Amino acid sequence: MLKMMFDDEKALESLLYIANRCKIKDIYHILKIQFFADCKHLERNGRFITGDYYIAMKNGPVAGNAYSFLKVARGENVYIPQTMIEKIKQAFTVNGYNVQPLRNADTDYLSVSDMKCLDESISENSELSFKELNDKSHGALWRGAGLNDEITFDDFVTHSQNSEQLRAYLNG
């Protein structure tokens, strides 16, 4: 099975892209929009947008590195390279759970397919309540993982709408 590489610059720009466009600018909405965009992108293009990994947390699947980025912006100590910490702090502020982007996303880091899936996810999810997003994200994919365990890429493929075709494509 394909092993993805995390792209930290692309992840930062993806979070900024979402934060500048979603109606409710909090950590929960931004990370759920990223999750649903990654699911769409995987089904259509055989990869996640940024190559992040997902954890089955209490309130649903969470992109681990993206969550760490937002925690850095909130002032928490997270083990990531200092150069990335500086870029994050220049991109966002986070007060409590509220995210304030400090600049626009550099869309040169995002492909047309990335932005299409992000836009669709923003449109579908940015105005949902916490409960609606929570219910929507607690599907079979989340239920199949242990609490706080990683949801494997293979699990995402298995739970995709076109899993057989996607698996054949990924296996070459």
- For the stretch 60-75, pLDDT in tens is 999 999 999 999 999 9
Give the pLDDT of residue 1: 53
Is residue 39 pLDDT above 80, yes or no? yes
151's tokens? 């949801």
Q: How confident is the model at residue 4 (pLDDT cuts 50, 70, 90)?
A: confident
3-state helix, strand, coil in the chain (%, to 5): 55, 10, 35
Residue identified by tokens 């994200």 is 137
Give the pLDDT of residue 172: 82
Give the pLDDT of residue 2: 62
| Mean pLDDT of the region 99-115 | 98
Query: CA distances (Å), 15 to each of 43, 90, 114, 155, 167, in order?
Result: 20, 13, 12, 24, 28
Query: CA distances (Å), 108 to each of 14, 97, 120, in order?
Result: 11, 28, 19
Q: How far apart are CA 91 and CA 26, in angstroms?
A: 15
